[in-house]
Structure 1
Amino acid sequence: MFRSLARRMTPPAQVFDIHPLQLSRWLDEAWTGGALVPDVGNSTTPAGTPFLGEPAIIGAIDLPLPPATGGPFPAPSGINPAAPDSFTGTPIAPATPPLIDPGLVADHLVYAFLIESTGAFEVLAEVVRRLSVGETLNPISPASHRWVRTTEELFFREPPLYSIQGVLSEVRPDQRVNRRNAYWRMFGLEPPHPVPARWLRPGMTDGAWKQDVGDGVNASFREKWTELLRQVWLGMENAKNGIGPNATDREYIASLCDALRDMMALRRRGGLLAREEFAYVSTLSWFHLTLEDNVPIVVDLSAQGPGPAERLQKLAARVGMTPAPRARELFELADLMSGLLRAIELSVFSSGPSVELLYLNLGTNTTLLTDMNKIIDLWQSATGDRVKDRPSGSAQPLRLPAPSGGNAAPPPNGVRAPAPTGSPAPMSLLAGQNGHG
């Protein structure tokens, strides 16, 4: 979300000059349009269709709008992109829906998961802590002091009362556990690093985010996702196969997309996880934005680099930490996978002809093909899942059930049960239409 706001400014880093009170209020403005879905690929979904599981969830918990005859907005952000240190007294966009630019869509929860998995949140949390309690780091400039103050106000204290980002309370008091709970429920996945010992609360047990979730966990997400990537790669390999067998099965790929769509829809019933997804994506986008350029805090700590992963590596070294070994892949994957999962949830790839856009060059989908290839490469490199390898499991003979008290019949010649292909344990086009163009 903050990256979307930054793109309205020149240079984007001016977003760090905005007062934290204004940024907090802007999130409430953005929430009113956070579920708007622009056209994605060949989707027939009308622009403006609510996305977050329940069409009424936005209006159910957003701020009231002024009457049609006019009136003050209850808590305007007053942000002026041309003068970030000023206050206009009005929302950043007109006080009628949408309060944000069309196409400004909140990223998928997987974006937050992948950015969190880089270690960016924990490294920058330690940077803020060190600069707040002592003098173990370089002296910093006023601009960096502003970043530290805003970061602490927005993400390391309880949110303002009645804010859309107020997903921290006595009933769920730890933000790290809360985010992991959402990742676990939606994807059956956890960040690769544990909660740092410094931030463990008294009585916190390992896996606290898994408590009381019931059956609401998409435990087979990774298996289905990896199989989808494997089948799309198979389609890419066979795309120019004019003669001989072609193992590509477009209907199977469509069924995998539908399976992923349906399991995520289960977690969104009645608007579940909608507010949490919005808040967690917003949080992680701030830390991602901090690392996307050589902003003052990066320069003051001598952590300049060509990309987010390199800057994160240097900042981590300053505070005695180590980021994820595959942070570069995770940063690059975040926008791409977010866009693809959004499209899958919108049933963009729910038919045989539509899934061919993922692996066949049809003349109009060159960017999509490139992005899909990147997703496959980055996922394999980041996770170790051998997406491009053909399944090598040993097939077992199909054993037919024997009648009670009788002998089992031998399997028919050549009939074998299929070997398991899942690996247990995110497209410029789509990302651009997801507010990241």
Structure 2
Amino acid sequence: MIAASFQSGINGPPTNPPTQPPGYHPPALGTSGQLLIWDHMFYAYLVESTGAFEIFAEVVRRYVVGETLPPPTPVTMAWIRATEELFFRDPPLFRVGGLTSQLRPDARVNRRNAYWRMFGLDLPHAAPGVSGQPWKRDAGATSNIRFIEIWTELLRQVWLGIENERNTSGANPTDSNYIAYLCKTLGEMLRLRRVGGMLSREEFSYVCMLAWFHLAVGSDNDVIRDLNARAGFVGNPADRLAAVGARVGVAPSRQAREMFELADVISPLMWAIELGLFDTADQAELLYRSTGITTPGPAPARTMNQIIDLWQSATGDRVKDLAVTTRRQWNQPAGSAQPARLLPAATLSPVSAPASSANGQRTAVPRG
């Protein structure tokens, strides 16, 4: 009886969902129209990659230990106190966000451990006060270090489909079966990191925290005004973050704008892939076909086009070049867009060392 009255509520939508605040439109899951319970962990990774957490950590620190920033209004001071209580203090016992302990005392290391296990990725900036890469030490051999390799291949294949959708003559290298195979492989990799509920609390907690800081730069609110970091009506979160960072001497990533925009649109796609919504050839066509498709809300193909553009701009990975090169070399035999060796869905443990950046970390975005 006692257990029945204290259910978590994450197994499905609540019976009486709360009223959504004006102007808030949560993303739909794939083409089903279902609302997400929370954003995917990839959202948290992208927002933290902008440098937002480190910048606002310094803002809060300066306000609570001295007076080197402009005097805050009462609203800003309330935000500072709430931020410190929520994200920079040991949480009470049995709280869902209580992810630090004597066994894993550093929250920064804990988040990097989760990103490494789920995506095989490090953040593009160093962890203050942390030497080496301790988040990898105990991660095990099954971390998804091939995630970016397969994800990038998926983007290339979807772009081929977008480019060739309206072909009425000549070869069409689009292969919906291969796109479905890539989606299925990615879904299996992500689900394997969640066996028994692993990383679920971490994902929920990190998404909530990074959404808090994302919201802080989403408008010219009291905090932004008090820090003289307004970007105006046509401004964007990256502009405000850069202005706040200049106040405290912490520079954000140079690709912050692309990463903020990518974080907004990539979460529903990641959940759809993880839940197997594109595991068949017919379903995979939704990712690149914009004609003859009826779906609630924006067509997935338009969203994929935006994701490909933002990913290429944020990472410098020319995911469109394969399609362009294959098409333009008209005086030579056209090669297959699909690699000769398939990416094995059943073999999900790492088979080779990941590529490294200058600081020895594998990252999805260059250091800003």
TM-score, normalized by the shorter chain, greater than 0.5: yes
| 1:221 is the counterpart of 2:150 | no
Q: Which residue number in structure 2 is paired with residue 248 of structure 1?
A: 174
Deviations 1:27-71 (A, max 9, x none): xx9993445379734559xx7xxxxxxxxxxxxxxxxxxxxxxxx
Equivalent residues of 2:28, 2:36 under 8 A apart: no
1:232 aligns with 2:158: yes
355-364 vs 369-378, greater mean Cα deviation:
355-364
What SS does the corresponding residue of 1:218 show, helix, strand or coil? coil
Q: 1:320 aligns with which of 246, 249, 255?
A: 249
Query: Computing the radius of gyration over CA atoms, which structure comes out larger, 1 or 2?
Result: 1
Question: Could you tell me the TM-score, scaled by structure 1's length?
Answer: 0.67
Q: Of the candidates 140, 144, 148, which is equivalent to residue 72 of structure 2?
A: 140
Task: Say if 1:336 and 1:39 are closer, same or farther in 2 by CA, change over 3 A.
Answer: closer
Asked if 1:388 is matched to 2:320, the reply is yes
- Gap regions ≥5 residues in structure 1: 1-28, 48-102, 394-413, 426-437
1:373 shift after superposition: 0.6
Matched with 1:54 is: none
Q: 2:266 aligns with which of 321, 328, 337?
A: 337
* Equivalent position of 2:282 in the other structure: 353
Measured against aligned partners, the alpha-carbon deviations of 1:106-139 in whole angstroms (never above 9, x if no partner) come to: 1111010000000000000000011111111111
Asked whether the equivalents of residues 43 and 347 of structure 1 are also in contact (C-alpha less than 8 Å), the reply is no
Give 1:280's match in structure 2, choosing from 206, 209, 225.
206
Match of 1:376 among 302, 305, 308: 308
Correspondence for 2:186? 260
8 A Cα contact 1:35 1:105, kept in partner: no
Q: Which of 1 and 2 has higher RCO (CA within 8 Å, sep 6+)?
A: 2
Q: Which amino acid aligns with 1:265?
A: R
SS in 1 for 2:29: coil
Provide the alpha-carbon RMSD of the alignment. 2.7
Structure 1 residues 126 and 163: CA distance shift in structure 2, 3 A? same
Deviation, structure 1 residue 418: 4.7
* Cα offsets for 1:308-366 (capped at 9, x unmatched): 11110000000111100000010011121111010001111000011111111224245
Query: Residues 31 and 163 of structure 1: is their aligned pair in 2 closer, same or farther, counting only changes over 3 Å?
Result: farther
Structure 1 pair 224–145 and aligned structure 2 pair: CA distance change class (3 A): same
Please give the alpha-carbon distance, in whole angstroms, between the structure 1 residues aligned to 2:341 and 2:214.
37
Q: Structure 1 stretch 366-375 or stretch 104-113: which is displaced more?
A: 366-375
Q: Tell me, in whole angstroms, the C-alpha distance in 2 between the residues paired with 1:190 and 1:162.
A: 29
Give the conservation status (yes or no) of the 8 Å contact 2:308–2:319.
Answer: yes
Shift of residue 390, structure 1, vs aligned partner: 1.0
Residue aligning to 1:36: 12
Q: Is the 8 A contact 1:265 1:345 kept in 2?
A: yes
1:289 deviation in Å?
A: 1.1
Any idea what SS the aligned residue of 1:390 has? helix
Give the Cα separation in 1 of the matches to 2:218 and 2:300: 23
Cα distance in structure 1, aligned partners of 2:213 and 2:60: 12
Post-superposition offset of 1:187:
0.2
Aligned CA distance change for structure 1 residues 162 and 418 (closer, same or farther; 3 Å): closer
- Equivalent AA in structure 2 for residue 364 of structure 1: T
- Cα distance change on mapping 1:309 and 1:254 into 2, 3 Å: same
Aligned partner letter, 1:247: P
In the superposition, relative to structure 1, how do residues 173 and 301 fare at CA in structure 2: closer, same or farther (>3 Å)?
Answer: same
Structure 2 distance, partners of 1:43, 1:122, is 37
- Following the alignment from structure 1 to structure 2, what is the Cα–Cα distance between the partners of residues 364 and 392? 29
In the alignment, the residues of structure 2 paired with residue 31 and residue 250 of structure 1 have an alpha-carbon distance, to the nearest angstrom, of: 41
**Residue of 161, 178, 186 corresponding to 2:118:** 186
Asked if 1:269 corresponds to 2:258, the answer is: no
Q: How has the CA–CA distance of structure 1 residues 364 and 237 changed in structure 2, closer, same or farther, with 3 Å as cutoff?
A: same
Letter in 2 for 1:337: I
